[in-house]
Structure 1
Amino acid sequence: MENEFAKVMSERTDEELIKIVTIERGSYNPTAIEAADSEIEKRNIDTSEFEKIKEKATVEKEQKQKVDSNVVGSGIRFLNFIIDFIIWLIIAGILTFPLSAKDGNQMLLGYVIMFATFIGYYAIMEIKFQKTVGKFVTKTRVVKMNGEKPENSDIISRTFCRLIPFDRISFLFTKNGIHDFLSKTKVVKDTVE
């Protein structure tokens, strides 16, 4: 009878197979390891690369664990939200105050200004500092899933994802809110490295 994991292992990349038979070996069923070993042999993968890939994977795993251990909880995320919401309201209020709501065009302009200040506040602060005012107060910052500084495109994506309905309360139910999940970012304690 053919090993039940043979087909699954045949679909894995060389690097994935090497990780399975080295650093992740303890996480797999012995039959799956046997299928991975067999697939490595069948592909004639150079085993001299194992150590390099194993080292790289170990470093990535340790970095991910470090980031995951520093992810902040819902209470701090809620405090960040409250502080940032107040700051945004103040900025939007200052910029829209001169407008009177007498005609529809000025009212529309007011909404455009409010939208622009919302996008601008989060995007500019997080691109420049990896933080908003709320995150400065709570000593937290935004990072990619692997702990690196997010690209500008990650922050822009994160900012627009904040407009998704119920995003603001999604972090109350999970460690990462909708805008974190979709932009592949996390909010972590601001540790000095």
Structure 2
Amino acid sequence: MSLMIRRAEQSDAPAIAELQQTTWRETYSGLLPTPVLDGLALPRLYRTWRAELIRQDGDLDHGIFVAETEDGKALGYATCGAAAGQAADILGDGEIHQIYVKASHQGRGLGRALMLACSRWLLMRGLFSGGLWVVKGNDKARAFYESIGGEMAGDKRDSMQGWQIPVVGYTWSDLYELAGLESEVPSWL
């Protein structure tokens, strides 16, 4: 099966909304409060992603990528941009806001490929350091970030629908290290 990573377009909003609903329920069942996961209604997610993808078109500091099969079936997505506020103080110049791959396709290099796409995109904008936040109990994701050179850089609480969620920061002081993942990404890219 041939796979590819590409910059998302406005027409990807329905597929990314479905991916978010699926991957969040796969990833966060037992980690996030049930009302947060139950609140992932597709119509609302679709509107949110449509707005994000429209914003991306006019905002050079906002990148959204989709991982898909050659016939266009979306399997994962990632978003990134300049870090702001407290995130910039802890994470550095750039932030990977979201990165998710369907559980059925994890372990095939899609996460690495999405991280590679984000790091390259951030570097092209002069953002040379960066990081991301991960839910504290998400040990699988934390192990993945550590395996590609991420270093723990603090923690905080994120507010989601009124709930306070503990998250941990992972950083790369030099995003060129992440851009070097190319040798570890499968040749289907």
The verdict on a shared fold, with TM-score over 0.5 as the criterion, is no
- Greater strand proportion: 2
